[in-house]
Amino acid sequence: MLLLVGLATVVAAVPVAVVAQAATTPTASFAKVSEWSSGWEGRYTITNGGSTAITSWRVEFDLPAGTTLGSYWNATLTSSGQRHTFGNLSWNGRIAPGASVTFGFIGSGSGAPNGCRLNGQPCTGGTAPTPTPTVSPTGVPPTVPPGGRTPVAANGQLRVCGRQLCNAAGKAIQLRGMSTHGLQWYASCATPASLDVLAREWQADVLRISMYIQEGGYETDPRRFTDLVHNYIELATARGMYAIVDWHMLTPGDPNHNLERARTFFAEIADRHRAKNNVIYEIANEPNGVAWSAVKSYADQIIPVIRTRDSDAVVLVGTPDWSSLGASGSGGGADVIAANPVNATNVMYVFHFYAALHDDYYLNTVSAAADRLPLFVTEFGTQDYSGDGPNNFTMAQRYLDLFASRKISWVNWNFSDDFRSGAVFTTGTCAAGAFGGTARLKEAGVWIRDRIRTPDDF
């Protein structure tokens, strides 16, 4: 996505409202924000009620026998028996006076934290009164879509079979979902609350985690952005969605410019999440200005970094000319790729389009390419390539009809409240935290929500 946004950097991956406290010292309060028959999602809010900034934090507590921890986010974790200690990450250790940060985790069993201490002192209320959790009548998590099974529970580990994306049973499937905007600008739009809406109300199968490399992204603070991606993978996992880790390289267009950065990043991501069955790796968003041979060289070096750690995950490789399969420049993309494919299995090739600009020539390009290559559409809009301007829903629907007939998975750009027409929410939605329903959706948001919500054939 060719999009430069001059907005203030978002500091926290999961912003929440500051909790008013009477105390003048730091406190940590716990809430079960949702419960189901076998477990719950818990959240700690650390509030600095003092007059000086906190530079780091550590929350430790016990869980009763029979209660265990699963995935977690916005913190580090060390455990010894039933004693669990969460610590800050590089980007959320400092808490200004009057401010708050949160971290969360999934618990299994009926128990709750006790004996809480914050930086060695009592948490001042520890397990304070909590909001009434939302419990489904069937006893399943509220983030599970109607029908009772999440996309990941229904399909398991994905693989490429022939030219199709297939589930663990070998059935060709189509995933549909949304991409975040750049995490450096719009992390506040991808929160536990908004992802609950995306998973349950929109019934999305997949979340694309869009991490820019330049444009104020990864290269400015690799630790912070890597931690953000870790957290979003955990949030998607807790909601039963697939997670596409998008290495959003754009300018410069040669992916080899970021080769060493990519090695470092994907090694850590794959090492941390190797046991999950919902992670998909998109290793080069939109190569441009270079031939397929340069993209292939990059892919042939990065994919082994992933494979030595996560041997069976699907890998997505960008294609020439902004992932247009060559249609936006050199042409002949599918033929060139098919004649000299990436030296790996379980690989799919990426196509992007913007319906107000990309007409029949592009549609015919992807249709012909689908006869030769396994394809995944990781980004598209109903506007022009800037993500702005009038919507062309008619052309966009022609693309989606083709993808449905060929079971080509797709992800829409973008799940934010950017002022451009391609952002699904109206400006100010993310700060308000009002994500449900259609009242705060733009025209493109209503359109794409309806299409994600159509029943899956899993």
Catalytic residue numbers read: 286, 379
Q: Read out DSSP for 153-181?
A: HHH-S-EEETTEEE-TTS-B---EEEE--
Q: d(Cα 323, Cα 378) in Å, to the nearest integer?
A: 9
Cα–Cα distance for residue pair 257/117, rounded to 1 Å: 46
Q: How far apart are CA 91 and CA 227, in angstroms?
A: 8
Q: Go through the chain and tell me how many residues it has.
A: 458
Question: Which residues, listed in sequence order, are joined to residue 379 by a DSSP beta bridge?
Answer: 352
Which DSSP helix (H) or strand (E) runs through 115? strand 114-118
Of 42, 26, 165, the residue nearest 100 (C-alpha): 26
Rounded Cα–Cα distance for residues 288 and 252 (Å): 8
- Please give the C-alpha separations between residue 314 and each of 15, 150, 157, 245, in angstroms, as whole numbers: 31, 19, 9, 11
Phi and psi at 313, nearest 5°, equal -75, 150
